[in-house]
A = this chain, B = another copy of it.
Amino acid sequence: MGTTQLESVPEPKYWHLKTVLTEALDSEFSVGEILPNERDLAARFGVARATLRQALEQLELEGRLQRRRGVGTTVAPPRVGVAVGTEQHIWPGTATDAWQPVDSTVEAPSAAVAAALEIGHDQSVHIVRRSRMTHGQPVAAELLYIPEASVPELSAIDAPSGPARARAVLRELQRLELEGQDSAVELGSARADDAKQLDRLPGAPVLVVTTRFFAEGRTAALSVATYRADTCRLTFGDSGGVEIHQDPERRAS
């Protein structure tokens, strides 16, 4: 009876692997360093490649690793904090805007969008696509839904297409005075077009931030922004940077 515990709950191999790798990342690797390839790592740990991949996938989900097909697996930098809660950073068109307009179209809204905007299913909306960059990397792709009622002066289409068109819509929208906003965050997986914009594969985990903007007593716009879950930490509130994790502090080489 003096032995170690009988292990009534044997730990899955991939879970143990993840722990070992986490410790290795904390102590033996520096940011940007490339790991051995999956086949070598699997052999080194004496497991099947699929099992190793299960561990790597979790580590990537937690933002510790970055994997790129055809290239390799590298140690990821700490997640970047991106502000999503302060009005200044979000209300389209503000000076310190991290968003880049991509293009814009006019379409009939889906039922869900129409409901959130409190408009009829037949009233068309402007859809502005934007892209958010941080440190030269794309971190978010956004679809901004704007009822035509919010930009009444835009009846005649002056701007041809592309970014110019998007900017024209945003310029009109900016005339409204923002009265409040309302956000929700949930986990999703990247649609094919978002994935391309975010430089990820389709299905990659993303944080979907849905924001309603209120002006003139109505819902003036609806933003659905998908952020890369692996590289982003969304910050709300006054100051911008909490730097806390459950695990011990990390170090660089």
- Report whether B112 and A245 are in contact in the complex, using a CB–CB cutoff of 8 Å: yes
- Tell me the chain A residues, 215-253 only, with Cβ under 8 Å from chain B: 222, 224, 229-230, 232-239, 241-246, 248-249
Flag whether A61 is at the interface (Cβ < 8 A): yes
**Bound-state Cα–Cα, A95 to B185, Å:** 25
Flag whether A111 is at the interface (Cβ < 8 A): yes
Q: Take A186-B232, A205-B61 as given contacts and tell me if A210 and B244 are in contact as well, using a CB distance cutoff of 8 Å.
A: yes
- Report whether B242 and A112 are in contact in the complex, using a CB–CB cutoff of 8 Å: no
A128 → chain B, closest Cβ, in Å? 16
**Bound-state Cα–Cα, A44 to B141, Å:** 36
Q: For the side of the interface on A, what is the size category? A: 35 or more
Flag whether A79 is at the interface (Cβ < 8 A): yes
- Report whether B191 and A246 are in contact in the complex, using a CB–CB cutoff of 8 Å: yes
**Bound-state Cα–Cα, A58 to B188, Å:** 9
- Report whether A243 and B116 are in contact in the complex, using a CB–CB cutoff of 8 Å: yes
**Bound-state Cα–Cα, A222 to B242, Å:** 10
A-B contact pairs, 10 of them (CB 8 A): A15-B202, A58-B189, A110-B249, A182-B237, A182-B238, A183-B236, A184-B234, A184-B241, A186-B233, A186-B234
Q: Take A212-B242, A242-B182 as given contacts and tell me if A189 and B61 are in contact as well, using a CB distance cutoff of 8 Å.
A: yes
- Tell me the chain A residues, 116-169 only, with Cβ under 8 Å from chain B: 116
- Report whether B207 and A248 are in contact in the complex, using a CB–CB cutoff of 8 Å: no
